[in-house]
Amino acid sequence: MPIYKMYVEKEDRQNGGAYLKSLRETAGIAIRDVADALRLNRVYLYSIERGDAPLRPEYLPKVAWLYGVDLAEMSKRYLRYRDPLIYAFIFGDEGDPGLREMRQEFVEGEKG
């Protein structure tokens, strides 16, 4: 049985960060205000928006509230970028051949 090891492509990490940044900008909130509200360092938030660091799950509800977006939808979309294999198992591949292939390779590894 293969051991699950999370691996996220750099492009997915960057897309996840860009998604969060676009939500923040759409909400018209400065990064310093988010940093203050979450009691986080601005440098760390910039690294999240660049895709260099993940947004920890405990911050998702507050971020969704700050940005005025639905927590479930934001969490679902962010999961797609931060852990695509788990996303594919929960929500399916949604027509994405990359997700389909990733999930299939993992399942086939389980059989072999």
pLDDT of 8 reads: 84
Please check whether residue 3 lies inside any domain of the structure.
Answer: no
At 49, which CATH number? Answer: 1.10.260.40
Average pLDDT score over the chain? 91
65 pLDDT above the threshold of 80 = yes
Please check whether residue 71 lies inside any domain of the structure.
Answer: yes
Coil/strand/helix, residue 103: helix
Please check whether residue 65 lies inside any domain of the structure.
Answer: yes
Please check whether residue 82 lies inside any domain of the structure.
Answer: yes
Q: Give this prediction's pTM.
A: 0.87
Q: What is the mean pLDDT of residues 101-111?
A: 82
For the chain, the domain total comes to 1
Tell which residue, 75, 93, 88, has the closest CA to residue 23.
75
Please check whether residue 2 lies inside any domain of the structure.
Answer: no
46 pLDDT above the threshold of 80 = yes
Which domain does 88 fall in, by range? 10-111
Question: How many CA within 13 A on the CB side of residue 7?
Answer: 7
Coil/strand/helix, residue 70: coil
